[in-house]
Amino acid sequence: MDLSSLKNTPGARKTRKRVGRGPGSGLGKTAGKGQKGQMSRKGHKRKLGFEGGQMPLIRRLPKRGFKNVNRVEYLALNVCSLEKYFDDGAEVTLEAIRAKGLLGAKFDGVKVLAKGELTKKLTVKVNGVSAAAKAKIEAAGGTVLPLRDGPSTLERCQAAGKAARLAAREAAKAKK
pLDDT in tens, 98-142: 998 888 888 888 999 999 999 999 999 998 899 999 999 999 999
Q: Tell me how far apart the alpha carbons of residues 96 and 134 are, in angstroms, rounded to a whole number.
A: 19
Beta strand pairing status for 91-92 and 128-129? unpaired
Are 111 and 75 within 8 A, CB to CB? yes
Domains and CATH numbers, the chain: 74-146 (3.100.10.10)
Average pLDDT, the chain: 88
The helix (H) or strand (E) run that includes residue 80 is helix 79-85
Half-sphere exposure of 14 (CA within 13 A, CB side): 4
Q: What pLDDT does 150 receive?
A: 61
Q: What is the length of the chain?
A: 176
pLDDT, residue 4, reads 92
d(CA 76, CA 129): 10
Whether residue 152 has pLDDT greater than 70: no
Per-residue pLDDT tens digits for 40-63? 888 888 888 888 889 999 999 999
Q: What is the pLDDT of residue 148?
A: 67
